[in-house]
Structure 1
Amino acid sequence: MEMLANGLIAIIDRIGENWTLALGGGLIGALFGAFAQQSRFCLRAATVEFSRGKIGEKVTIWLIVFTAAVAGTQALAALGLLATTEARQIASPQSLSGAALGGLLFGSGMVLARGCASRLLVLSATGNLRALLSGLVFAVVAQASLRGFLSPLRETLARPLTTVSTGGNDLLVMTGLNTTQAASAGAIALILAVITATWSRAGAWRTFAAFLVGLMVPLAWLFTHTMRGIVFEPIQMNALTFTGPSADTLMLFLTPPGSMIDFEVGLVPGVFAGSFLAAWLTGQLKLQGFHDGASMRRYLLGAAMMGFGGMLAGGCAVGAGVTGASVFALTAWITLFSMWLSAGVTDWLIDRRHEEAAPATPPFGVPAAE
């Protein structure tokens, strides 16, 4: 820990605090993007597979990412290298109503857009123009929900029920568990997920890549926690999330240079670069567009729902569903449950029924699964 802090201090002396944060976000994002592209990690794919009564490679890949993030984060906390109580999800009041409603919107949106926020970013780097345009719409709506004309609606929906009424947002405190017990439970769950991945024939490389994707969450927690202790200006301890950072990255191009440089702004281009390099090195770059107008409307509606839902819930499928859950934030688990529920219902209402009626024709002009 001391060695990491000393190394970061040396970098800060050369390029400054903000650029060091952005560099760390970029490097962690690049690793996340590369391994997410190789593992094909995707919550939307996992929820659809599960809702259709199957626990196959898509579910197990998501489970490996999730359990690795939880086990790694709690292990750092148990070793005294991380104070999870300083995380934004725990340290400040959160909206329970926003978590539930936002999760429902986000889950339906990611089925319509055929990918969550992080998956759209990864796919866009490989040449998927559907994902690129959907990602831009997602970022615009997220920014409008954060500071624009949709922010009053978001605040109204988030206000009715907050963690103030529950006495906090820390599930470990509520259940009386400690970080050692949480880390042990996470490790056991990870082992079971790996066994399931072997049974489902997910492949050794995909399984290992998914494990590394999950480890990016505790690595990001450790980096921002360490930076928090050595920088002069106070910063928020955070890990991986894509709703707020996508909005901030969009605004970076509309504001004076250097005015918004931080960890989260470095994260988004880092993920894009890492995914592009992984796809390029493995020969998976390919330009893809919309099939027709109906397909385009579906994607853009889904992206807009994710932008508003993610900001209302306080995070996306990764930000709330993995990062928030890794510190056992109550709202994150509510959001994650809502996403799985609404994704399964949306798949049944829109995709599965049409596939059963006309199995040879993708619903609404949607191309084959990414």
Structure 2
Amino acid sequence: MNELITAFWPYYLIIFALAVIFGFTAQRSAFCPVGGLREWVNERRAGRLATYFGAIAVAILFAALVEGFGWFNLSQTIPPYRTTEFAWGRYILGGFIFGFGMVLAAGCGMRNLVRVGQGSIKAVWLVMIMALVAYLMTRTSFYAEWVMPWISPLSLQFTDSGAQDFASLVMGQTESLSTWRMVLGVIIGGALFILLLRLKEFRQLYPLMTAFVIGGVIVGAYALTGGSYAQFVQEEGYFMDIPPAGLGTQSFTFAAPMGDVVHWLSEPQWALVSFGVIAVFGLVVGSLIAAVSFKQFKLEGFASSQDFWRSSLGAVMVGFGAVLAMGCSIGHGLSGMATLALGSMVALAAILTGAYVGIRFDSRTR
């Protein structure tokens, strides 16, 4: 334990700080993709949804620039967003289930973790369900025995392009691929941000700040885990009997990491304290700091027995769908979109479609 803390405490501390910033900002801005979509569908208010897409635009733009200057390489991330395997069945089905489920659960994993920091007992219960389902899917034989046999054929390989990011699909395996990734990333991210600026609700201080902070945190995590310091950390890990888990280029996602928290709690040791585990706790702490500082901490429970069962079902769908899709509204929606991976684009579209259907279903059954 002392060996790990001595060698990696700056690494752990920076991850925790980034997660706290994420949680603090998400709590203050009510950052929530499904909440934003619900406001747009029901009230035609686009502010929160635009903020979510603004964070995506900033993440794409900053990631393209930083990767273009050679500070990190997003072709070997955890999870592998740019993999040659285009698992379209997982992206579409898992994304839709996740999107529908987060409507019933009143938010994705990130939003419910933020609510835990605000004092929601309901969110504590829902996060526990999401975490247990994610653990079932990632740490037991359930996925391999019951899900993989029918979902694995629903995929194809991008062997000619060598990767599934937008630049690779358009340009192929060319020597100037890194340049094209930067150019296309700047164009796509910049164009999306400029398009969003046409919305008056987005051209406000708080939405703009939220987009820049959260988008910047996503890229900051990639810079930490994929930069020169990360290489030092990995080299140090090679000489340890039990190296820390989950080293590699990665950014924020909250589905599988909640399952990692369950795994760590079942076998508490420093080697299992991964990026995702720290991110989960850091997000809650950041939200707690914001809620207490601005006097928004309040213990809340379920509104009714119907709310309990509906939300619990939604939490099961969120945990299952996120792992099936290999990402959530933060994993694919921000971290994956920053790599311009086609799979993340398809998964995000499926998530939003599932959420839209869920919102319509929710409005008719309440």
Q: Distance in 2 between matches of 1:350 and 1:263?
A: 35
User: What secondary structure, in the 3-state scheme, does the structure 2 residue paired with 1:105 have?
Assistant: helix
Pairwise CA distance, 1:23: 2.4
Query: 2:165 maps to which residue?
Result: 170
1:218-248 alpha-carbon deviations (Å, 9 max, x no partner): 0001000024422224732111111111111
Pairwise CA distance, 1:53: 7.2
Letter in 1 for 2:187: S
Letter in 1 for 2:107: G
Letter in 2 for 1:221: Y
**Are residues 1:89 and 2:81 paired?**
yes
User: Is 2:134–2:255's contact at 8 Å kept on the other side of the alignment?
Assistant: yes
User: Is 2:101–2:317's contact at 8 Å kept on the other side of the alignment?
Assistant: yes
Query: 2:231 maps to which residue?
Result: 229
Query: 1:193 maps to which residue?
Result: 196
Letter in 2 for 1:130: K
Q: Distance in 2 between matches of 1:70 and 1:147?
A: 31
User: Is 1:224–1:237's contact at 8 Å kept on the other side of the alignment?
Assistant: yes
Q: Distance in 2 between matches of 1:195 and 1:212?
A: 20
Pairwise CA distance, 1:160: 1.3
TM-score by length of 2: 0.86
* Structure 1, unaligned runs of 5 or more: 1-11, 355-362, 364-370
Query: 2:244 maps to which residue?
Result: none
Q: Distance in 1 between matches of 2:27 and 2:344?
A: 24
Query: 2:243 maps to which residue?
Result: none
**Are residues 1:302 and 2:310 paired?**
no
1:139-185 alpha-carbon deviations (Å, 9 max, x no partner): 00011011225313332344013342565322221023431231233
User: What secondary structure, in the 3-state scheme, does the structure 1 residue paired with 2:299 have?
Assistant: coil
Query: Which deviates the most, 89-98 or 178-187?
Result: 89-98
Aligned length: 340
Query: 2:242 maps to which residue?
Result: none
Query: 1:153 maps to which residue?
Result: 146
Q: Distance in 2 between matches of 1:250 and 1:115?
A: 20
5 Å-filtered alignment, 1:220-369, equals: 220-226=221-227, 227-230=229-232, 231-232=234-235, 233=237, 235-351=247-363, 353-354=364-365, 363=366
* Structure 2, unaligned runs of 5 or more: 172-179, 239-246
Seen in structure 2, the aligned counterparts of structure 1 residues 165 and 327 have a Cα distance that, compared at 3 Å, is: closer
Seen in structure 2, the aligned counterparts of structure 1 residues 339 and 14 have a Cα distance that, compared at 3 Å, is: closer
Across the aligned residues of Structure 1 and Structure 2, the Cα RMSD in angstroms comes to 2.2
The counterpart of 1:42, out of the listed 25, 28, 32, is 32
User: Is 2:119–2:298's contact at 8 Å kept on the other side of the alignment?
Assistant: yes
- Where does structure 1 differ by over 4 angstroms across 4 or more consecutive aligned residues? none
User: Is 2:4–2:270's contact at 8 Å kept on the other side of the alignment?
Assistant: no
TM-score by length of 1: 0.86
Query: Which deviates the most, 71-80 or 318-327?
Result: 71-80
User: What secondary structure, in the 3-state scheme, does the structure 2 residue paired with 1:241 have?
Assistant: coil
Seen in structure 2, the aligned counterparts of structure 1 residues 32 and 157 have a Cα distance that, compared at 3 Å, is: farther
Q: Distance in 1 between matches of 2:312 and 2:189?
A: 36
Query: 1:118 maps to which residue?
Result: 110
Seen in structure 2, the aligned counterparts of structure 1 residues 100 and 93 have a Cα distance that, compared at 3 Å, is: same
Pairwise CA distance, 1:342: 1.2
Percent identity over paired residues:
25
5 Å-filtered alignment, 1:61-72, equals: 61-72=51-62
Query: 1:9 maps to which residue?
Result: none
1:242-282 alpha-carbon deviations (Å, 9 max, x no partner): 11111111221110321302222111111111110011111
User: What secondary structure, in the 3-state scheme, does the structure 2 residue paired with 1:80 have?
Assistant: coil
